[in-house]
Structure 1
Amino acid sequence: MAFLLKNTLSLALIITLFWSLPSSIFGQNCGCAPNLCCSKFGFCGTGEPYCGKGNCQSGPCEGQATPTTPGSGGSGSSSVSGIVTQSFFDGIIGQAAASCPGKNFYTRAAFLNAVSAFPQFGTSGSSVENKKEIAAFFAHVSHETTNFCHIEEQDGKVNDSYCDQTKAAQYPCAPGKKYFGRGPLQLSWNYNYGPAGKALNFNGLGNPEKVATDVDTAFKAAMWYWMTNVHSVMNQGFGATIKAINGALECNGKNQAQANDRIQFFKKYCADFGVNPGVNLSC
């Protein structure tokens, strides 16, 4: 009986202490207020047990920047969604004529959805670096689509199958399919459609048209190409991004007018975001 009483009292004491703790520390699995940290055990609070290095899952963790969720629709000026506002997006697509096929196709929501699938885009550097990357992305998109007017390539080569036979063993071209430019960055060639489809879980070789008919796939394909081929050269200047996208046709003095168009868009968007475009703008 004494043993049972002792254990009952101990349990009562534990329960009392548990409920006497501040309510702010609770919130299992988190979802904490912005000023609270989510501990490794899934509770909200402040101080070393919640915000300390090794103890903190999210929130104002010590020793790191407060995590953001790109594409979440938040209004924070440092997030991708806070930089690419609806007003900024509309400022681009608003220049497209009403007859443009892209006018009712491209949306900011689809762009942010693509960003959420590639969380390193526009978030992995300093605030200035992030804004320059976003400006660079939209500079190329604006050039490639003529301010979101076009969904498919318009330069007269759409009759070309864009099937590189040297890559056909790995990325076999499907009968009757053409791999000309589609989407915000005009994804082209079988060796891009193949791996893009694999990464994004659609049949890129068998159904390349999806990049021009499904806006989420269109932006994700563009983001896939960017993060695979362009993101890593941003620190070399805007000229390096031109080389990564269309260097064979626009670098070393070739089609300088086309390269200049991209550069002018980049300068404009950098000005919109309040950052200096830097050097090495041309390739």
Structure 2
Amino acid sequence: MAGLSLKKNLLTLVLVVILAGALVPGNVKGQNSVVDIVTDDFFNGILNQANEDCSGKSFYSRAAFLSSLSSYYQFRSGSADESKREVAAFFANVAHETESLCYIEEINGGSQDYCDETNTQYPCNPDKKYFGRGPLQLTRNYNYVAAGNSIGFDGLNCPETVATDPVISFKTALWFWMTNVHQVLNQGFGATIRAINGAIECNGGNPGAVQSRIQYYTQYCNQLGVAPGDNLSC
């Protein structure tokens, strides 16, 4: 009887392990998962480009990024090459926006409140400012509110949370990416620039910024061993 009971327990354990593996989302397991693509060397290679006195050096981390992925299973949901290009595109825009994860907040961001008063659905808190914060420099009251509602923080009254909680900070970047950028990836890297800051940078608006993003993207694609594809500029 004791032997039969032991066999049942072992069988139960095996089933639990199998089911647990099946429930792990595809973007955090497998040979071409984000965990495998965004290695310590890849992430720290970006972070190490920032100056030692940068605030982001002690704020952004690979662990915080990977933790934030739990809410965004569709990030990196294509083939192996598509996965690598999405990671390269995401971090290329992040590196440009933050100067290689140096900045948590927009430089001189406090000089503007970025309150869109025409958006009556999200009235601004007069004591808060909605300047760029986080890996993709989340900006404006309506984005803070929408991101907060999706992620679970008070973006309207506590926008500074994006600059004090590294996991939430990365979640806002992934929220913006999945809401506005992910769906245009098949149009080429240039489409990601247009989705993020096209009104200011594209069509000759700021060719230096566009080239900066492209340079990061091609660099990361080379590191990951994937062709960057067509339509790099906007």
Task: Work out whether the TM-score is over 0.5.
Answer: yes
> Which whole-Å deviations, capped at 9, do the CAs of 1:207-226 have from their partners, x for residues lacking one?
00000111111001111111
Query: Quick one: structure 1 residues 219 and 239, their matched pair in 2 at CA, closer, same or farther if it must change by over 3 Å?
Result: same
Where does residue 132 of structure 1 map in the other structure?
85
| Deviation of the 1:77 alpha carbon | 3.5
Secondary structure at the residue paired with 1:152? coil
**Of 153, 159, 163, the match for 1:208:** 159
Who is 1:173 aligned against?
124
> What root-mean-square deviation, in Å, do the aligned CA atoms of Structure 1 and Structure 2 show?
2.3
CA distance in 2, matches of 1:175, 1:28: 57
Tell me how far apart the structure 2 counterparts of residues 247 and 158 of structure 1 sit (CA, whole Å). Answer: 23
Q: Which residue of 1 aligns with 2:53?
A: 99
Give the number of aligned pairs.
Answer: 232
C-alpha displacement of 1:158: 3.1
Which of 121, 140, 148 pairs up with 1:197?
Answer: 148
Letter of the structure 2 residue corresponding to residue 58 of structure 1:
A
- Stretches of structure 1 that go unaligned for 5 or more consecutive residues are 1-14, 33-37, 43-56, 60-66
Q: Say which of 4, 9, 22 aligns to 1:58.
A: 22
Structure 1 match to 2:110 = 158
Conservation of the 8 A alpha-carbon contact between 2:25 and 2:73: no
Residue matched to 1:31: 17
Question: Do residues 281 (structure 1) and 232 (structure 2) align?
Answer: yes
Residues 211 and 217, structure 1, Cα contact 8 Å, conserved in 2: yes
Which entry has the higher C-alpha Rg, 1 or 2?
Answer: 1
Greater length-normalized contact order (CA 8 Å, ≥ 6 residues apart): 2
**Structure 1 equivalent of residue 168 of structure 2:** 217
1:22, CA displacement in angstroms? 9.4
The correspondence for 2:66, drawn from 104, 112, 116, is 112
- 1:15-43 residue CA offsets vs partner (Å, 9 max, x unmatched): 9xx98x998754376213xxxxx4xxx9x
Taking structure 2 as the reference length, what is the TM-score of the superposition? 0.92
Contact 2:144 2:159 in 1 (8 A): yes
> 1:70 Cα deviation (Å)?
3.4
Q: Percent identity?
A: 52
The structure with the largest helix share of the pair is 2
Quote the residue 1:253 is aligned against.
204
CA deviation string 1:243-276 (max 9, x = no partner): 1100000111110010110000000111111110
